[in-house]
Each structure stands twice: as C-alpha cells, then as structure tokens.
Amino acid sequence: MHARRKAALAAMLLLGLASPAQQPADEARRVLEKALRFAGGKRLQEIYAVRYRSARSWRDQNGELQRFTFDTFVALPDRAQLVATGASNTAPFVLVITANEAHGISGGQTQTMPAYWLTNWQNSMRRSYFYVAKHAADPDFQVRMVGDGLVGTTPVKVIELRSGGASARWSVEPASGRLLRLEETVQDQNGTKQRASELSDLRTVDGVTWPFHAEYFEDGKHMGSDDLQGMELNPPVDPRFFYRQPLALSEVPFRPAVATAASLVRPAVVTVRSQPGGAQVYVDDIPKGTTSAAEGRLVLTDVAAGPRRLRVSAGGYREWAKAMEVESGDELEVLVTLERAGPPPLTVEDVEKMLSAGVAPKRAAMLVQERGVDFVLDDAKEGRLRAAGADVDLLLAIAKAKR
C-alpha cells in the first residue's frame, strides 16, 4: 500500500472518519478506535522512542518475590535496551534487543540470549499503543471481537489484535476506552505461558495516557507487579544503545515528563473547516469562534461529550447545521461547504402584491419557482390569491415551492 494512503487510513482510523469501504464498521474496530483515542489519539503516531524507569517485583522459581529497578529504552519498532538492577549490590544486567538478536551483558561478559527472549520483546513492542496506532491500517493488521468480560467488577469488551506474527487481547472499558487488561502468550525455558497484565493508575504524560501500575499473572498465578517511576517520550536515539557492547543508559540523562492523573471523561477536539473561511461556528447555539479567513479552520478543544448541535453561518450564505454524537476524547474533523444564499422565499403577501400590481401569473409562477415560498397553501390563502388574479398554474407552482 502506498505510504501516503497508509498514513491517511491510520489518521482516519484514529479520528473515526474512514468511509465504510476503508474502515469496516464492526464492533471490534470501534473498540480499538476508542482505546487509541483515550491513550492519546494522533499523538501516539508521533512517538518513535520511549524511556521509562520502574520498580518491579517478580516471583522466582521458588515463589519468592525478588525486587528490581528497570531502566528501559525502546526505539520502535524493534530495538530496546533494559538495565535491571537487583536489591543486592550485584552488577546490573543489561539486555539489548535488535531486529535479529537478544544479547545480555553481566559482569563484563556478553552472551546471546535464547530465541524466545527476542520473540517476547518484539511481540511486546508490536502490541504497544504506539505500534498499533501506526500500523492499524496495514493490510495484515487484524482485529476481531472476542466478547464481553469483567476486569474486577468493570464490564469490558475483549478484542484480539494480530500483526507481524504477534497477537494480544485487549480488555477495554467501552464507556471510556481504558485498557484494563492485556493478555498475551509468552515463552520461557519451560514452554509457553499465558500472561495477563492488569493495568491501573492511569496518568497522562506529554499527551499520552499510560498505566503507571501493573499486576502480572501467568497461567492464572500472580507473578508480580510493576510501578512506573517516570517516562520520557521521544528521547534522542543513540545507535550505540544497541551495540553488542552498548552505551550504558546510566551515561545518558533521564528527563521524565510531568505526569498528571488521567481523567476518564475528556472533552473532544473538533476541527471545523469551512468553505468559505471567516464563518461563525456555534456549538449548541453558543458561539465558539470564527474559522480563519485563509484556511477556513477553527479548532475547538473543549467540546463536551454527548449529543451536540454544530452550526456554521456566514453573511451571504445559507446556514449549515448538523446534529452529532460526541464521545469522550473524540478527535473529529468536520468539513462544511456553505451554499450561497439567494433572495428570501416569497410570503403570501408578496405574491398577492405582485398580482395586484399587474404582474402576470406566468411571471409570478417563475419567481415562485426561483425563490420558493414560506407558506403552505390552504383554502384561505388560495382564496386571497385567486382574488388577486392567480391562475391554476401559479397555484400549482406555489404548492410545489414550499421551503
């Protein structure tokens, strides 16, 4: 698929504006769109690298919880470096992921890690918000509805995503678009396991909403938890991070962005583009501003969720209005082409005066066809017009011309 067309399809997916031929109007796609809008919408497509620090506890083979701090750098779509430091004073373990290899460094020694390390990491990158937002319009990206479920006591819609050989199930709260549970298949030295991550403590960082707490389960057994301490979006990507003897993350400053608690109910962003520009825009009959003269563009950043009436008007043009259902966090673009306004429709008094002034019924009928009338012909009005000189053809034109 042509790169420009792919980008357009991805943008329309996020905005919910794709035509039926481009975007199957099925429930699974709608749930995915809602989840992407909640997580950041178009901002997600701008992310190419992420660095974050976290505190993790994980059960060892004896069932004992071990605690680590992680410093992780991900360069999409397939490179990462992770530095894990245990609670003891042992040297940190460094894991480097590239497109073709996973290798670890510990105590100055480098070794190639088992193939499942690479598979697990690359699959985890492919099911991230950032990857999905960029690739949801790809021909091989598949979404299907699994069904309804519960995360705790919260009802969710469960969808399955498949792309690039990776699959995952997202459990999404349909009202808000929150991703509450992520399920995927992972491998280790003992075989294949089903891992579930239950996500909470949602915070917004530089335009992206992210879970700062996760509880992990494998084959139904609780394995540990993760608490995010900070997150930096689009830090500089140094290729040396991914060398076999890499540049250590500890040598590069970590500059996490400010994180704020995420709101579940968010205003929508509605971009109005009018032709011509300079048009007045109203939401529920409240004036919101004027589209720019040059581009005909006005961005409304505070449109409340719910049923709304959008109205656009400009001098010399017919008013445009539309009822629309706005969802929390929507990012919508509305294109408005205003029609030039002609003379106002004729009143019954206008027609009566024309006839009384000597205008022929045939000429009056032509004016009625051009301008329309603002009244419905009834017995009383018909009597008045016949008395003024209306004939059958004029009365028939009036009956057809009501606007």
DSSP secondary structure string, 153-215?
TEEEEEEEEEETTEEEEEEE-TTT--EEEEEEEEEETTEEEEEEEEEEEEEEETTEEEEEEEE
Q: Quote the pLDDT of residue 137.
A: 87
Structure tokens at 70: 């992680």
Q: Quote the pLDDT of residue 6.
A: 47
Question: Residue 330 — pLDDT band, cuts 50, 70, 90?
Answer: confident
Structure tokens at 318: 């017919």
Q: Quote the pLDDT of residue 60.
A: 86
Kindly tell me if the per-residue pLDDT of 96 is higher than 60: yes
Better-predicted residue by pLDDT, 20 or 76: 76
Kindly tell me if the per-residue pLDDT of 11 is higher than 60: no
**How many H helices and E strands in the chain?**
8, 21
Which of 316, 392, 387 shows the shortest CA–CA distance to 348?
387
Q: Quote the pLDDT of residue 10.
A: 46
Question: Residue 403 — pLDDT band, cuts 50, 70, 90?
Answer: low
- Cis omega (within 30 of 0) on the bond before 276? yes
Region 204-222 average pLDDT: 95
Which of 257, 255, 229, 206 shows the shortest CA–CA distance to 47?
206
Better-predicted residue by pLDDT, 372 or 155: 155
Kindly tell me if the per-residue pLDDT of 16 is higher than 50: no
